[in-house]
Amino acid sequence: MLVRSLTLATLLAVACPLMAADSDGPLALERGRTRPLIIIAPSTVDPTLVSLKKALDEPANRQAFTERNMVLFTIANTIGQREGKNMDPQTTMALIRELKLGASVGTKVILMGKDGEKKLERIGAVDPKEIFSTIDQLPASEKEMVTTTPVVTEAAPGKEGKEGKEGKPGKPAKPAKPAAPPKPLED
């Protein structure tokens, strides 16, 4: 009995962080809703960072930015921001881990699609028009991608043969009957 308990505890200790790592990062939260533009610079006064932020603040570029459902992430000196608001250090490090970046010199500009894939990755200055044209060249399925929260319903025991019946949208599923307690194992 002790061996089974230790085995279960070990499996949970290994599996839980792996499952949590899939959806904890800020890019995972943006997937399907927005296109993150990430700028990673060595300092807040980096010329590439300053010029790109200034270019994106121009009215025409700001409008094009919002029309394409984009969100700006900046990381300067390990301090992260989302749309100009500071992120906590754990969220910033999760963003860096999600990008799976190697060592590089200079400012890196990365455009992610709604599907979570990198669409553009450059070291150095990038013109906003190049970013917008990259988005405009994406397939229509990626442009219209919107994630909805699926309604999860559990089938009641004994009704496995009636597939395709789901509850009404917005209505919670009927709770299933509790399962019978497991039979004790004999050693």
pLDDT digits (tens, 9 = 90+) for 88-139: 888 888 888 888 876 677 888 888 888 888 888 888 888 888 888 888 887 7
- 128's enclosing H/E stretch is helix 128-136
Walk me through the domains of the chain, giving residue ranges and CATH numbers.
Answer: 19-122 (3.40.30.10)
d(CA 127, CA 120) in angstroms, rounded, equals 12
CB atoms < 10 A from the CB of 91, how many?
Answer: 16
Closest among 99, 88, 98 to 22, alpha carbons compared:
98
Token code pair at residue 2: 């002790």
pLDDT digits (tens, 9 = 90+) for 57-77: 899 889 988 888 889 898 888
pLDDT at 126: 85
Residue type, 102: G
Q: What is the mean pLDDT of the chain?
A: 75
pTM for this predicted structure: 0.60
